[in-house]
Structure 1
């Protein structure tokens, strides 16, 4: 008598298994890219701004010149406090009260269609951005397109090396890194 022939796994069950595997892999990679993008995103630091670097250099030079004259005359050098109070060594020309994290907070995720808006979120640590993006990614059905983007006007400048914190950009490096890891 011939053995029972047929599918060991019904085709519909096989399709569901494949759909789940594809969806899980896409979500896993999207989460990795989101994490890389957020962590690579520069957070504004006024101490690195040209105007502040120039002002600090000028004020430091004046304080150093005073110290040189004081040493020649046998007087003591300025204390750190005196340098700050008398020569404004720690002063900023720009960015007083500035809080960085706007670019990092504006990375966001959409499914199947890109978003043409900005997020009003300042997130220096990136945790709120990753949390919001992860929730969207986990909701993505299999075979969907997951967009991770940033629409701030200066995002293209940052991607093309405008920032000393991310001289080689953000998105391109994140994609290349994750693509290599999942080869």
Structure 2
């Protein structure tokens, strides 16, 4: 299904584009069906690689049915600041750039 491909591409692009120090920001890209997640993921340690977040998207994508709404949320209080360029690891607008890159990859 095309929607699964889009979800997986966008999720992976956004997760991997997110600056990483502790892995908290990458780990908090949380995919969900039909309603956005409104809470922050809190753990003792976070996956710096983003692999766990990407695996979560694969699990959610497997449950997509025709007409499903899919959300990829990040509720960290500082995610907007990161996206505005407050980290030297990623440019301002990295979320939008990641979505555009995923869109370009899908259209090929």
1:177 aligned counterpart, secondary structure: helix
Residue pairs, 1:1-183, within 5 angstroms? 24-44=1-21, 100-121=22-43, 122-183=46-107
* TM-align CA RMSD: 1.3
Structure 1 residue 153 displacement after superposition: 0.1
Structure 1 residue 137 displacement after superposition: 1.5
Does structure 1 conserve the Cα–Cα contact (< 8 Å) formed by 2:9 and 2:106?
Answer: no
Give the TM-score of the pair, scaled to structure 1: 0.54
Query: Which of the pair has more CA radius of gyration?
Result: 1
Q: Where has structure 1 moved over 3 Å in runs of 4 or more?
A: none
The structure where helix makes up a greater share of residues is: 1
Structure 1 residue 132 displacement after superposition: 1.4
Alpha-carbon distance between aligned partners in 2 of 1:31 and 1:119, rounded to the nearest angstrom: 20
Alpha-carbon distance between aligned partners in 2 of 1:178 and 1:142, rounded to the nearest angstrom: 21
Does structure 1 conserve the Cα–Cα contact (< 8 Å) formed by 2:84 and 2:93?
Answer: yes
Structure 1 residue 164 displacement after superposition: 0.8
Alpha-carbon distance between aligned partners in 2 of 1:182 and 1:133, rounded to the nearest angstrom: 17
Alpha-carbon distance between aligned partners in 2 of 1:142 and 1:34, rounded to the nearest angstrom: 19
Structure 1 residue 156 displacement after superposition: 0.6
The gaps in structure 1 that reach 5 residues or longer are 1-23, 45-99
Please say which of residues 35-44 and 164-173 is displaced more in the overlay.
164-173
